[in-house]
């Protein structure tokens, strides 16, 4: 068996990790905080991997990343994951127009949009895109209304 790598934490680091483990926004971040906290208890990477449900290499990789970048290094970096099929800026006008023509039948709008955009996607993808764009528009309008209300009251 190899040498057991130990990790010493400052009080601030321990508090940040415990808070991240309890209140982290994503499951993966909470799990990564737990990995570091378990490592501070002088557990082996194999034990931690069994507890958390990952492999030893993942435990060691997150330990290295924590040592170099700190608690913020445990967060998922932007740009990970699959790219969106429909672009929020480029495709919005065409989607609005197509959906406006066939509001009740998303499949008709989809059939019209696929050749126009040169992209293949499912009806569910189009529904999610419309929902997300409607949410973004309503949020931006509510921010605008609040700023107008502040100007009127001041």
Range of the domain at 149: 92-153
- One domain for residues 97 and 127: yes
> Is 58 in the same domain as 103?
no
If you average pLDDT over residues 119-129, what whole number do you get?
Answer: 92
Percent over 90 (pLDDT), the chain: 55
The percentage of residues in the chain with a pLDDT greater than 70, rounded to a whole number, is 89
CA angle 135, 138, 143 (to 5 degrees): 125
Give the whole-angstrom CA distance, residue 124 versus residue 106: 9
Question: Does the reported pTM lie above 0.75?
Answer: no
CA distances from 11 to 4, 8, 17, 24, 143 (A): 22, 10, 10, 18, 39
pLDDT of residue 39: 94
Answer yes or no: is 19 within a domain: yes
Total domain count, the chain: 2
Rounded to whole angstroms, what are the CA distances from 116 to 7, 16, 93, 108? 56, 49, 12, 13
**Last-in-domain residue among 74, 105, 128:** 74
Q: Per-residue pLDDT averaged across 33-54, rounded?
A: 94
What's the confidence (pLDDT) of residue 103? 81
- Tell whether 97 and 146 lie within a shared domain: yes
Is 3 part of a structural domain of the chain?
Answer: no
Q: Does residue 82 fall inside a structural domain?
A: no
Average pLDDT over the chain, rounded to whole? Answer: 87
């Amino acid at each position: 068996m190899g040498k057991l790598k130990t990790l010493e934490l400052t009080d601030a680091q321990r508090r940040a990790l415990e808070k991240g483990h309890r209140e982290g926004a994503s499951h993966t971040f909470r799990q990564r905080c737990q990995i570091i906290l378990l490592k501070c208890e002088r557990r082996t990477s194999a034990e931690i991997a069994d507890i958390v449900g990952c492999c030893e290499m993942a435990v060691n990789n997150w330990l290295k990343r924590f040592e170099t970048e700190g608690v913020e290094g445990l967060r998922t970096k932007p740009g990970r994951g699959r790219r969106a099929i429909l672009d929020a800026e480029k495709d919005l006008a065409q989607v609005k127009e197509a959906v406006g023509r066939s509001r009740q039948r998303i499949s008709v709008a989809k059939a019209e949009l696929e050749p126009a955009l040169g992209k293949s996607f499912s009806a569910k993808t189009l529904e999610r895109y419309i929902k997300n764009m409607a949410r973004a528009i309503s949020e931006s309008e509510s921010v605008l209304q609040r700023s107008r209300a502040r100007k009127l009251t001041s």
